[in-house]
């Protein structure tokens, strides 16, 4: 099965949030594939991260490390120009950016815990950064089969919200879903071979989930490598006719 539907050449792939957790596992998994020509690994300090340096030593020029804070639009604009200078087309962009309790964001349990700084931090990382990444990479997603996939979360589903809490995280992921849905419509007009997906990775053993892992049912806390494999399987299975949809790691469609 090809990396994305209808692709019949080695893929150029960009991973945002590539230095740790799911993003790093995606880099490892993709570099091990024969149908991936090159991986662009993007994070705030990609050039300094030891794990990415080890991959660069193993895979040489097939891994390109680029420093970019995706919450800074000037840096995103520079990123787009840099990649375009070496690569005429990206076949797959995977955005694993997101925060729950870092960088000023808080997993609020009540309205009393809400504040503007925490809301802004959640929306900046979980909604604004992914869609602005797509904005600045969109010229590279035209003319050939392409997929833009961003990590959302089941708790961003309004229809599935039965517990409340986590106000800013839930709301920012719901905003991301709407932004991706709108972008899928625009991109389809420009490239009928394009796909935009929102993906729920499941609870994965990363820094984001660590404070909450005690509540995870047995067998439902995944290793990053397993999550990476499941995400890539979802991407391979869903093409342009599914653009703008929201899927869970197990292949189940999630209601908005």
204 falls within a domain: yes
Q: Is residue 255 part of a domain?
A: no
For CA atoms 216, 123, 131, 78, give the dihedral sign. negative
Per residue in 207-227, pLDDT (tens digit) is: 554 444 456 555 567 799 999
Q: What residues form DSSP beta bridges with 101?
A: none
Query: From CA 168, how far away is CA 176, in angstroms rounded?
Result: 12
Q: What is the pLDDT of residues 171-190, one digit of tens each?
A: 999 999 999 999 999 999 99
Residue 1 within a domain? no
Residue 85 has pLDDT above 70, yes or no: yes
Counting residues of the chain whose pLDDT is more than 70, the rounded percentage is 94
Query: How many whole angstroms separate alpha carbon 199 and alpha carbon 130?
Result: 13
pLDDT at position 212 is: 47
Q: Which of 55-64, 66-75, 218-227 has the lowest average pLDDT?
A: 218-227
Q: Average of pLDDT values for 157-176?
A: 94
Segment 137-161 mean pLDDT:
96
89, pLDDT greater than 60: yes
Please give the average per-residue pLDDT across 51-79, as a whole number. Answer: 97
Total number of domains in the chain: 1
Spatial separation of the C-alpha atoms in residues 241 and 198, rounded to whole Å: 14
Domain limits for position 118? 11-248
pLDDT at residue 1 tops 50 = yes
Residue 208 pLDDT: 56
The confidence score (pLDDT) of residue 86 equals: 96
- Average confidence score pLDDT of the chain: 93
Are 254 and 154 spatial neighbours (Cβ–Cβ below 8 Å)? yes
Residue 83 has pLDDT above 60, yes or no: yes
6 inside domain: no
Specify the pLDDT at position 99: 86
pLDDT higher for 45 or 219?
45
First to last CA, the chain: 29
Do residues 42 and 96 touch, judged by C-beta distance below 8 A? no
- Position 210 scores a pLDDT of 47
Q: Find out whether 109 and 159 touch, Cβ atoms under 8 Å.
A: no
Once rounded to an integer, what is the mean pLDDT over residues 217-244? 89
Whether 256 is covered by a domain: the verdict is no
3 lies in some domain: no
CATH code where residue 164 lies: 3.40.50.720
State yes or no: pLDDT of 235 exceeds 90. yes
| pLDDT in the model for residue 75 | 98
Q: What digits encode the pLDDT tens for the residues 90-126?
A: 999 999 999 887 777 788 899 999 999 999 999 999 9
| Within a domain: 226 | yes
pTM of the model as a whole: 0.94
Q: Please say whether the beta carbons of 221 and 202 come within 8 A.
A: no
């Amino acid at each position: 099965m090809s990396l994305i539907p209808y692709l019949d050449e080695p893929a150029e792939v960009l991973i945002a949030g590539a230095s740790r957790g799911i993003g790093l596992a995606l880099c490892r998994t993709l570099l091990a594939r024969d149908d991936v020509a090159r991986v662009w690994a993007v994070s705030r300090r990609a050039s300094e991260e030891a794990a990415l340096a080890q991959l660069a030593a193993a895979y040489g020029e097939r891994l390109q490390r680029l420093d970019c804070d995706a919450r800074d639009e000037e840096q995103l604009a520079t990123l787009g120009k840099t990649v375009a200078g070496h690569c005429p087309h990206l076949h797959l962009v995977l955005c694993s950016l997101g925060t729950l309790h870092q960088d000023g964001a808080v997993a609020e349990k009540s309205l009393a815990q809400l504040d503007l700084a925490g809301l802004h931090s959640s929306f900046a990382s979980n909604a604004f950064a992914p869609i602005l990444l797509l904005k600045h990479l969109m010229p590279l997603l035209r003319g050939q089969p392409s997929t833009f996939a961003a990590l959302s979360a089941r708790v961003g589903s309004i229809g599935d919200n039965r517990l409340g809490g986590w106000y800013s995280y839930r709301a920012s992921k719901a905003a991301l879903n709407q932004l991706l849905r709108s972008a899928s419509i625009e991109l389809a007009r420009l490239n009928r071979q394009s796909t935009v997906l929102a993906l729920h990775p499941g609870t994965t053993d990363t820094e984001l989930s660590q404070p909450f892992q005690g509540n995870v049912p047995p067998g439902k806390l995944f290793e990053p490598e397993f999550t990476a494999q499941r995400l890539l399987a979802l991407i391979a299975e869903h093409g342009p006719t599914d653009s703008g949809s929201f899927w869970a790691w197990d292949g189940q469609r999630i209601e908005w």
